[in-house]
């Protein structure tokens, strides 16, 4: 690369050398840069610091899909930036709407793969559910994404780009964000943290960090990194069983992280952020819905500042799992309540659109070889 530092030349629109990717398409995604990263990049091109706020605002507040739209930049500069970088700003290739109001979108990625994201409206808020990976290597037994295998991590720009696309598609009404789509966010932790920095930046979308939740099966190292990250993002740990043998069966990759380690990291998170951790527990008929499982969960959460969400299993074709009968779920909840735990049975939105928890990934089909 050969960048000149002649600012006046830049502002007049002197040519900016592009870091070309394949086929002459720029390799740099400006939408994946944090404010400071964008500032460094633009500074390296010889542009003054005040351009950073202008361009960051265009991408993340005005949802511009390209430099050529940035009408208050000199036209030659727009062309030069457009040659040097791109902004991943996808249109959905597919959309599926569920009668409960949830909508699932399939967004094409630049390498021919695709990623799925969901809009989940409930009264008073609209939540964007973002994916962090194409596929997933954790392999939860009840999850469609886990069964499709792992293709690759998403970049910060591909995560922030989903968020911006969902904001556009919702008419700018997204109020909350959950990292609960395809993939295990804390196995792609740097890109997730960068995207979190981008979407919560008040100079862009400015979503309050308390309105963001990162979901994990319990990757202690990633939980510690998230705990050290600025802001108050919530943490949801998909536990699914507090009995090690059951958990190992349901979440094969989580064998690496024992329940004791997960519990310790959860306590570390709640004390660092001064807010409770949420434990997600997908109830599966005859698998983890027994009174013994409920008591084990009650024991596991003793002394942990937390809330427990019990989520009746969604139907995912071919998994062989099903939702427990109401009376078993009630008995499970009653045991937790008697043990003094704050537990709720949650409804999972989007199941008829294939956009509910555990159902993403159908679009992956056989697009590319799995890792």
| Contact residues for ligand SF4, defined by CB under 6 A | 136, 138-140, 143, 145-146, 182-184, 217, 358
* Closest CB 239 distance from ligand SF4, rounded Å: 12
Least separation in angstroms between residue 144's CB and ligand SF4 is 7
CA 343, distance to chain mean position in Å, is 24
Nearest to ligand SF4 of 87, 130 (CB atom) = 130
Q: Of the two residues 147 and 167, which places its CB atom closer to ligand SF4 in the complex?
A: 147
Nearest Cα to 244, choosing from 233, 235, 252, 234? 252
Q: Can 357 be counted among the known catalytic residues?
A: yes
Smaller CB distance to ligand SF4: residue 18 or 143?
Answer: 143
Q: Which are the contacts of 119, defined by CB distance < 8 A and separation ≥ 6?
A: 102, 103, 105, 126, 127, 128, 129, 166, 169, 170, 174
Tell me which residue has its CB nearest to ligand SF4: 146
Tokens of 52: 């950073």
Nearer to ligand SF4, 52 or 314 (CB): 314
| Cβ at position 134, least distance to ligand SF4 in Å | 11
Q: Report in angstroms how near the CB of residue 131 gets to ligand SF4 at its nearest.
A: 8
Catalytic residue, chosen from 129, 136, 357, 367, is 357
Rounded alpha-carbon distances, angstroms, from residue 295 to 180, 302, 326: 27, 11, 18
- CA 42 to mean position of chain CA atoms: 27
Residue 278: in which H helix or E strand, if any?
strand 277-283
Tell me how far apart the alpha carbons of residues 303 and 8 are, in angstroms, rounded to a whole number.
Answer: 61
Nearer to ligand SF4, 102 or 138 (CB): 138
Least distance in angstroms from the C-beta of 146 to ligand SF4: 3
Catalytic-labelled residue, pool 40, 116, 140, 317: 116
Active site residue 2: no
Residue 212: which residues within 8 A CB-CB, separation 6 or more? 176, 177, 178, 179, 196, 199, 200, 231, 233, 234
Q: Phi and psi at residue 121, in whole multiples of 5°?
A: -90, 135
Tell me the CB-side half-sphere exposure of residue 88, using CA atoms within 13 A: 23
Residues belonging to the active site: 116, 357
């Amino acid at each position: 690369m050969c960048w000149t530092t002649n600012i006046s030349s830049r502002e007049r629109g002197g040519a900016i050398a592009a870091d070309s990717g394949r086929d002459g398409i720029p390799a740099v995604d400006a939408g994946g840069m944090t404010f400071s990263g964008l500032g460094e990049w633009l500074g390296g091109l010889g542009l003054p610091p005040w351009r950073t706020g202008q361009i960051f605002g265009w991408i993340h507040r005005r949802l511009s899909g390209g430099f050529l739209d940035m009408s208050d930049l000199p036209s030659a500069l727009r062309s030069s930036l457009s040659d040097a970088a791109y902004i991943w700003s996808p249109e959905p290739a597919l959309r599926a709407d569920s009668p409960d109001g949830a909508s699932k979108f399939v967004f094409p990625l630049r390498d021919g793969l695709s990623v799925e994201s969901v809009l989940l409206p409930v009264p008073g808020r609209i939540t964007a559910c973002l994916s962090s990976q194409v596929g997933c290597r954790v392999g939860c037994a009840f999850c469609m994404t886990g069964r499709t295998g792992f293709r690759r991590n998403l970049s910060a720009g591909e995560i922030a780009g989903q968020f911006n696309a969902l904001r556009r598609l919702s008419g700018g009404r997204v109020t909350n964000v959950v990292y609960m789509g395809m993939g295990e966010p804390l196995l792609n932790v740097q890109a997730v943290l960068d995207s979190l920095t981008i979407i919560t930046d008040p100079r862009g979308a400015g979503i309050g960090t308390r309105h963001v939740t990162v979901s994990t099966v319990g990757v202690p190292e990633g939980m510690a990194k998230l705990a050290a990250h600025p802001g108050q993002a919530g943490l949801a740990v998909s536990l699914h069983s507090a009995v090690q043998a059951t958990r190992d069966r349901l979440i094969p990759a989580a064998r690496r992280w024992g329940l004791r380690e997960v519990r310790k990291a959860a306590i570390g998170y709640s004390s660092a952020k001064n807010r409770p951790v949420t434990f997600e527990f997908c109830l599966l008929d005859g698998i983890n819905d027994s009174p013994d499982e409920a008591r084990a969960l009650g024991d596991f959460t003793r002394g942990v500042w937390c809330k427990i969400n019990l989520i009746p299993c969604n139907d995912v074709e071919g998994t062989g799992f099903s939702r427990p009968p109401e009376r078993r779920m009630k008995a499970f909840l009653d045991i937790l309540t008697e043990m003094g735990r704050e537990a709720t049975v949650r409804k999972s939105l989007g199941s008829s659109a294939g956009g509910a928890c555990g159902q993403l990934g159908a679009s992956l089909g056989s697009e590319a070889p799995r890792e």
